[in-house]
Amino acid sequence: IQLDGLLSRIEVLTSQPTRLDEAVVRHSRLSGAKHEDLEKVLLGIFSQVLAELAQTLTHLPDEKPLALLLEVESGLSPGQWRPAWQRAWNASGIRQSAVPVEGQGLVALDQWLDQRIDDQALLLVVALQFALLQPEGKAEAAVGLLLGNRLTQTTLPPIAYLHRPEQARAPTPEALMYATRQALDWVPLDAQSIEQIWRAGTAAQYQTAISTVLAEVPMPVKHNQGLIDLDALLGHPGTTSPWLAIAAATQAIQRSAGPQFIFSGDSAVDAGLWSTVLVPVLPLSTKES
């Protein structure tokens, strides 16, 4: 992610040929030559994501367990994209073994918090949206995240704290209001402390609900000045939506930004939006006071 571009609201959603049939539609694409073999492009994308994660994983012992949540949304079949993934993984230099995790999106993360709160494993998330059959208005995106448990992970210094997400159970302002307030309560955090709001994968039907929540919950966001809409800038990120927003918010915190709030959906239009809070890691002197 080019964070400066996102913070400056630079739109990359544009009319261009699609990968699969070269029809010209409005969407955003990951880099790669126009007529380059798709498996070669995929190999490069997976390799870049894993190379960045491998740098962090070098600080962990070989026997440290990893749980892998791999999410791919594509017009390519698993038989077409899995060989590229396996080649990239084998060449990544990651020494730790990874055990696949079932589920997808923030549902999987929520289950992880419920069922594996004392787990020694790190949760490695790799999400990709690429070469869609119907790419209009959508974004190609690739994301890699490494999530640790505050109760068990002490080897790697955290960049930010991601708190339990909360899902709205209906596409209504009332349901989203409840989820928003509950997400803030999990921290706990006063809504006025939120510095930046992100939207990703939010269907048009949720526009009214989000606007209602932002009008009533006292986050310091007036006329959307503090809100970054990834759907509008990049296109709908699909299965990568929550992870893309989390990665962007984490990068903002790396640059000394304050608490971040995320509204995110996924590829299922009818699925309720998630509310998620990320906060900076406090200095030790602050924690002890």
Q: Residue 160 forms beta bridges with which residues? A: 280
pTM over 0.75: yes
φ, ψ (nearest 5 deg) of residue 114? -75, -40
Q: Per DSSP, which regions of the chain are E strands? A: 14-17, 24-27, 66-74, 98-100, 122-130, 141-147, 160-162, 166-167, 196-200, 227-229, 260-264, 274-280
Domain 160-288 classified CATH 3.40.47.10? yes
The per-residue pLDDT for 1 is 54
Q: What is the location of CATH 3.40.47.10 in the chain?
A: 160-288
The per-residue pLDDT for 289 is 29
The per-residue pLDDT for 86 is 97
Contact indicator for 98, 86 with CB cutoff of 8 Å: no
Could you write out the DSSP letters of every residue in 192-208?
A: GG--EEEEES--GGGHH
Which segments of the chain have a pLDDT < 70?
1-2, 32-35, 222-225, 267-270, 283-289
Distance between CA atoms of residues 264 and 275, nearest Å: 7
How many helices (H) and strands (E) the chain has is answered by 9, 12
Q: What is the pLDDT of residues 68-88, one digit of tens each?
A: 999 999 999 999 999 999 999
The per-residue pLDDT for 224 is 61
